[in-house]
């Protein structure tokens, strides 16, 4: 016996495949939406976590900035205290510099050189005097440069020929000079004892050699 299917099986199969495709498409869309939601939630969690870290770092930076300002203020106070301490130490050390200055001038003045006046401005000293000749002035400069413990860097500012009247009939040619020299501080003075320095003999009394 021959059976003949008169139902529209092709349309039924096509409808069945369409329903399967629609179902698969719907499931794919739902799966994509679910994955997108998961990814979005993960990114939101990462962003929130990073924002929390940034906020914590900003708080710590603010604390460190305040500490740095405090440290800078302390360093400024320490520098000011050290400067005042150094100034006091310099004043204490420089109390005897006038004595050292006069003592060195008496020691280093060659015979035939006289100091008429001196002016001190800080550590710079200007000597005004008269010498029997230019050679005596040169000798004084050498003594101040090489033999003096407290005086350094002598510089001849001016030397002018002149005359000196010892009596009505005795008029001699002399050299009027101006010398600039640096007076060392106690911290700058060499540690070599004065007894080991070359001594310059002078036949003049100290009271006649230096006059202020």
Share of the chain above pLDDT 70, in %: 83
> Does residue 200 or residue 87 have the better pLDDT?
87
Rounded (10°) angle between helices 134-146 and 97-108: 130
Q: What is the CATH number of the domain that holds 164?
A: 3.30.1360.100
Q: Has residue 199 got a pLDDT over 60?
A: no
Whose tokens are 């003049």? That residue is 204
Q: Has residue 180 got a pLDDT over 50?
A: yes
Q: 198 falls in which pLDDT band (50, 70, 90)? A: very low
> Is residue 74 one of the residues assigned to a domain?
no
Name the domain count of the chain: 1
* pLDDT for the residue numbered 207: 33
> Is residue 165 one of the residues assigned to a domain?
yes
Q: Annotate 51-76 with DSSP letters as a single string.
A: HHHHHHHHHHHHHHHHHHHHHHHHHH
Asked whether the beta carbons of 154 and 181 are under 8 A apart, the reply is yes
Domain of residue 118: give its range. Answer: 96-185+201-209
115-168 pLDDT tens trace: 999 898 888 999 999 998 899 999 999 999 888 888 888 999 999 988 877 776
Rg, C-alpha atoms of the chain: 50
> Is residue 180 one of the residues assigned to a domain?
yes
């Amino acid at each position: 016996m021959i059976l003949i299917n008169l139902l529209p099986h092709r349309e039924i199969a096509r409808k069945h495949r369409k329903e399967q495709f629609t179902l698969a498409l719907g499931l794919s869309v739902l799966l994509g939406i679910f994955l997108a939601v998961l990814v979005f939630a993960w990114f939101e969690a990462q962003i929130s976590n990073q924002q929390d870290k940034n906020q914590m770092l900003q708080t710590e930076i603010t604390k460190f900035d305040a500490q740095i300002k405090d440290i800078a203020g302390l360093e400024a106070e320490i520098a000011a205290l050290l400067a005042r301490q150094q100034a006091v130490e310099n004043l204490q050390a420089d109390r005897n510099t006038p004595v050292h200055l006069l003592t060195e001038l008496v020691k280093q003045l060659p015979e035939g050189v006289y100091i008429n006046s001196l002016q001190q401005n800080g550590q710079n000293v200007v000597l005004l005097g008269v010498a029997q000749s230019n050679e005596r002035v040169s000798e004084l400069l050498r003594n101040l440069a090489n033999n003096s413990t407290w005086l350094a860097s002598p510089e001849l500012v001016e030397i002018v020929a002149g005359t000196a009247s010892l009596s009505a009939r005795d008029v001699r040619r002399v050299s009027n000079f101006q010398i600039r020299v640096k007076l060392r501080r106690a911290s700058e003075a060499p540690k070599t004892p004065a007894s080991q320095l070359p001594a310059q003999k002078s036949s003049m009394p100290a009271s006649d050699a230096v006059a202020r």
